[in-house]
Amino acid sequence: MGTHLAVHGGTPVRGARPWPRWPRPAPGAGEALADVLTSGRWSIASPHTGEPTRERRFAAEFAAYLGTGHCVPTASGTAALMTALEACGTGAGDEVIVPALSWAATASTVLGVNAVPVFADVRPDTLCLDPAAVEAAITPATKAIVVVHLYSALADLDALQAIAGRHGLALVEDAAQAHGAGYRGLKAGTFGDVGTFSMHHTKVLTSGEGGAAVTDDPQLARRIEHLRADGRVRGTAAPVAGLPELVETGELMGSNRCLSEFQSALLSAQLTELDAQNAVRRDNAALLDRLLGDDLGLVPQRTSPHTTERTYFGYAVRLPDHVVEAVPATAVAEAVTAELGLHVRPVYQPLYASPLYDPASRPRFAISPDHLKRVDPAPYDLPVAHHANRSFLTFHHSALLGTTADIHDIAEAFGRVLDHHTHLTH
């Protein structure tokens, strides 16, 4: 091909030097897990041992960290979203407005409560839900709005709170990619009726799998507790050693979506490292913004006004227009990946075009021909989300935990590929 790009057999920028490993265990994580191992209690449904559960301890710690009244840990971020939607009264036939650009669970959880996802376009700079698109999508059937803070950006919470309030809609704030981020000096996840988090392997606060729903409303918290523990909640009386701590109230049927004691103990340890790790990512991202933006003409993802603390689940950057017009983003991503040994890829496909969102593939959603028609994603074609997938690339936050030399490697790789981008059209 006449280039020295690694994808064409040239010497890569990075070579075999490893990137920072993720996840990385916090000090004390091993001891915390060993303590659970010998505790005689691996689940909150196990008999009480005389000590508070690890799950209860993490819930209190995370609520205090966020500055919210209640935290209910869950088995996953998906479980947190589903229980949040149900707790807010969302059900069969209701419409829920969701961003067109997000992970599949943003829409599949809406389907999971028999509601109808309605896709709204995103802003071209933040890639987060566009308030104007939300306003235009509201119908008499609309019950809730799910706002997602994506990659490293926070959505326009001022505008979305105002819209939800004006129309009497529940606002569910998906902060699965924004642990520790701040807006107007308050933590992300505390602005909606319910905030939800994922603690999946990829997230900046992780226990491999896991999640949490947070709220200031005690009634919503109680509903979420029922929904994630087969209709059981902790009793009001002091627990007795050897007896179950969960009480069968009969108030609300639920499912088993509880977090294990191992995961809870691990999260308590990992939480102590979150702010320091976020600070390292933020500093390295600022350096990369300068190297890619000022020197190479790429445009880093922006965040909404009033963001006071930015966090990075993924670093996202828009390719120059002349590159996007000449070569697919997938080809640029493949070439940068070859230079770095770091997985660089386009941002999410629009949900309505994603192979991970296909209601017709699940018989459980064939409630009626009318319902299948309402959840069919085929009619959607939202230009900003579509263009974002064609023009933005992203990589995982773990690379931002490296040194300034690592950041310069990333910039050098992008520069090398952009210099030879016309050779990538094969």
Question: pLDDT higher for 295 or 23?
Answer: 23
Which DSSP state fits 208? S
Q: Is 187 a catalytic residue?
A: no
Q: Can you tell me the mean pLDDT for 140-147?
A: 98
Is pTM beyond 0.85? Reply is yes
Q: Which helix (H) or strand (E) holds 36?
A: helix 29-37
* Among candidate residues 278, 299, 269, the one with its CA nearest the CA of residue 398: 278
The answer to whether residues 313 and 188 touch, using CB atoms and an 8 Å cutoff, is no
Decide: residue 415, CB within 10 A, 0-12 exposed, 13-18 middle, 19+ buried: middle
pLDDT band at 72; cut points 50, 70, 90: very high
29-271 CATH fold: Aspartate Aminotransferase; domain 2 (3.40.640)
Which DSSP state fits 301? P
Report the DSSP beta bridge partners of residue 146: 172
3-state SS assignment for residue 246? strand
Strands 299-300 and 70-74: what pairing?
unpaired
In this structure, what token pair is assigned to residue 224? 């979420």
Domain limits of the chain? 6-18+274-424, 29-271
pLDDT band at 426; cut points 50, 70, 90: low
Q: Which helix (H) or strand (E) holds 276?
A: helix 274-289
For the chain, the average pLDDT equals: 96
What span, in angstroms and rounded, lies between the C-alpha atoms of 213 and 246?
19
Task: Kindly calculate the radius of gyration of the chain based on its CA atoms and give it in whole angstroms.
Answer: 22
* Domain 6-18+274-424 = CATH 3.90.1150.10: yes
Instruction: Give per-residue pLDDT as tens, 225-236.
Output: 999 999 999 988
**One fold for both 6-18+274-424 and 29-271?**
no
* Among candidate residues 158, 186, 161, 191, the one with its CA nearest the CA of residue 174: 191
